[in-house]
Structure 1
Amino acid sequence: MSPDVEKLHADAIVIDATCPLLSEEPKHLELYRQGGFTAVAPTVPAKSSTSAEAILKFAMWRKLCRELDDLMMVLRADDIVEAKRSGKLGLIMHFQGTEPLDRSVDILDAYHALGLRVVQLTYNKRCHVGDGCEEEVDGGLSRFGKAVVRRLNELNIIVDVAHTGVRTSFDAIEHSSAPVILSHANARGVHSVPRNAGDDLYKAIAASGGVIGVVGFPAFVAKTKRPTLDQFIDHIAYIAEHIGIDHVGLGIDYYAGQAPICPDDVALALYERQVAVGNWTGESYPPPPYYYPEGIETPATMQALTAALVRRGFHEAEIRKILGENWLRVYRAVWG
């Protein structure tokens, strides 16, 4: 007998491990509330930020948590359980890139005190930690990068290798004493673009105890400009088949330049800036508009994913793992 979709979604812990949509505009929190999310991971802008800019973003989120009764900062795994129990939305602070470290390992202690719990090592380009996945040459972790991974482990901050070069990612897994994640990286075995990940990296992430977040950004889902929900689920099914259901979650990567949130002309200007500064390349990132998978075009309709997973034949326990329990397991392992 198929589960009651509405009840299943309402009861489940639902986590999106990558939320750049929230990096500038906390007003979009309402979309995640409508979608029944338990916890979300706002991107603290990091790919070109200074430490001062990052600290101001932490200050903004901490102020919102003081002022809004239905918002809370997630500092340990049980905070997500408490958010579910109390009907609040949990915030998991996430760096996409390590530029705000300002070449200092010690500054990680300050960020941890502010609430930082996940650090993505690079954002497509080379940085002082290592090489991004859009670089032609991947030299692996630098000496500084190895020191960063070691300190992240000591602080119980999760190491994330999304947007990171393959060799640099394998180096991070080798040097990390804790599970390593791919917060948002689809399967090259389903759709082959540089930003997606291959089976060898998936297997290494799983062996470390980590999880891969499946992405809704259309260019990473399928060749079409308007991917279907089934094409999105193809990546979930592929990861589950190749490394196990315990290692797949959601890192949907809703973005401020996507349709229908952003006008086309503004989205194009944002795109051109990303290309101009070298964060994006045309091979992986075609020009907008960006239409996320049909049915989950924004976070507000995430219940449609639960219904589609049921139709696809996933069992209730598997769906709960995909929606959030797998992430919660990793958070418990690293944060305690």
Structure 2
Amino acid sequence: MTLGAKELHESAIIIDAVCPLLDEQGRQIADYRAGGVTAIAPTVGARSGAEVALRTIGAWHKLLRKRDDLILVRTAADIRRAKSQGKTGIIMHFQGPGPIEDSLDLVDAFKALGVGVMQLAYNVKNQLGDGCEERTDAGLSRFGLQVVKRMNQARMIIDCSHTGLQTTMDAIENSSAPVIISHANAKSVYPSPRNISDELIKAIAGTGGTVGVVGFPGFVSGDKRPTIDQFIDHISHMCDLVGTQYITLGIDYFSDQFPYVDEKTAKIMYEKALANNSWSPKAYPPPPYYYPAGIETPKTMLMLTEALLLRGFTAGDIRKIYGENLLRIYETVWGNEASFGV
């Protein structure tokens, strides 16, 4: 173990900004806690409508009320409070705009319930614009432009993960707040359709936003079992491109990966995702899904700190990537006044 890796890891604020592994029963939260993660972002809505999202959010609020070791994150100060109190911050995240249906007012409603981040698309076309795997690349619709404006007004973070290039560029042009891509890797390192170009990485950084590096194996490399160095290759490239202040973590551990399900169950999920067009074989190879060696689950996140130090990242670099960069975004968009209760 590199001298100081454990101390650095334990003292840093660590935010994993994309955590679909989590469910409203609280399963797997213990794995993130074991890995020293300060704040985690369950997917509480995606392509489903308002009713399903509302039920999911209600279940999370019930869990937050029952468990004293969890804090609902509404501001950056809530994450700092979670760190100081040894608790885990919960950041509610929509992986797509399905829950707002056709109503701008639902942006405000879900923000009031604690949803702080919303993606504009999930791979395919919706009422706002095109996804990154859509046949077309038409940009934001009129409704999409209205949603961007309302999200700015409601202080909800605009996330362009899974979103088409022109839709993302339109969001960047029309947003008065930083735009993030919570989870995508560098296309110039590995050319998955879900990864993003150097030009787009620069454009996101130009808004003051951040790009989160993702561990889903099909986005890391062509290897079935990517190495931790292949994962860090994406971090290193993006940091060289725009600076360490714009790169974050959105590792995207999810419920159908190894070791949380067997291969047969993962294949059933995969066929369903292909059938409903949310995934394509070009971007999403078939299971099993092995996350980068050493960080196959959130429990062993300390290994990432060790590997980053060995690759020449400084303690300051790592603190930025792990949490300080996202805290800057959260302060800018959400504010920094501490909130209490759920």
Q: TM-score, with normalisation over the residues of structure 1?
A: 0.98
Q: Which amino acid aligns with 1:76?
A: T
Q: Deviations over 1:201-234 (max 9, x none)?
A: 1011000000100000000000100000000000
SS at match of 2:93: strand
What is the Cα deviation at residue 3 of structure 1?
5.0
Q: Write out aligned runs for 1:6-17 (5 A).
A: 6-17=6-17
Q: Equivalent residue for 2:133?
A: 134
Q: Equivalent residue for 2:267?
A: 268
Q: Equivalent residue for 1:109?
A: 108
Q: Equivalent residue for 1:249?
A: 248
Q: Equivalent residue for 1:61?
A: 60
Q: Which amino acid aligns with 1:26?
A: G
Q: Equivalent residue for 1:18?
A: 18
What is the Cα deviation at residue 111 of structure 1?
0.3
Q: Deviations over 1:260-293 (max 9, x none)?
A: 1111110000011000000000000011000000
CA contact (8 A) 1:23 1:45 kept: no
SS at match of 1:27: coil
CA contact (8 A) 2:25 2:63 kept: no
Q: Which amino acid aligns with 2:255?
A: A
The structure-2 alpha-carbon separation of the partners of 1:3 and 1:159, relative to structure 1 and needing over 3 Å to count, comes to farther
SS at match of 1:239: helix
- Output the CA distance in 2 between the equivalents of 1:23 and 1:128: 27
SS at match of 1:322: helix
Is 1:151 the counterpart of 2:176 in the alignment? Answer: no
SS at match of 1:237: helix
Q: Which amino acid aligns with 1:283?
A: K
Number of residues paired by the alignment?
A: 334
SS at match of 2:116: strand
- Output the CA distance in 2 between the equivalents of 1:311 and 1:15: 21
Q: Equivalent residue for 2:124?
A: 125
What is the Cα deviation at residue 26 of structure 1?
2.1
- Output the CA distance in 1 between the equivalents of 2:45 and 2:276: 15
- Output the CA distance in 2 between the equivalents of 1:229 and 1:102: 39
Unaligned residue ranges in structure 1 (runs of 5+): none
What is the Cα deviation at residue 24 of structure 1?
5.7
SS at match of 2:226: coil
CA contact (8 A) 1:3 1:310 kept: no
Q: Write out aligned runs for 1:184-195 (5 A).
A: 184-195=183-194
What is the Cα deviation at residue 25 of structure 1?
5.2
- Output the CA distance in 1 between the equivalents of 2:228 and 2:9: 17
Q: Equivalent residue for 2:30?
A: 30
- Output the CA distance in 2 between the equivalents of 1:56 and 1:3: 46
What is the Cα deviation at residue 179 of structure 1?
0.3
The structure-2 alpha-carbon separation of the partners of 1:23 and 1:120, relative to structure 1 and needing over 3 Å to count, comes to farther
Q: Equivalent residue for 2:339?
A: none
- Output the CA distance in 1 between the equivalents of 2:178 and 2:223: 34
What is the Cα deviation at residue 35 of structure 1?
0.5
RMSD: 0.9
Q: Which amino acid aligns with 1:68?
A: R
- Output the CA distance in 2 between the equivalents of 1:17 and 1:214: 10
- Output the CA distance in 1 between the equivalents of 2:81 and 2:15: 14
The structure-2 alpha-carbon separation of the partners of 1:234 and 1:316, relative to structure 1 and needing over 3 Å to count, comes to same
Unaligned residue ranges in structure 2 (runs of 5+): 336-342
What is the Cα deviation at residue 46 of structure 1?
1.3
Is 1:288 the counterpart of 2:287 in the alignment? Answer: yes
Q: TM-score, with normalisation over the residues of structure 2?
A: 0.96
Q: Which amino acid aligns with 1:318?
A: D
What is the Cα deviation at residue 50 of structure 1?
1.5
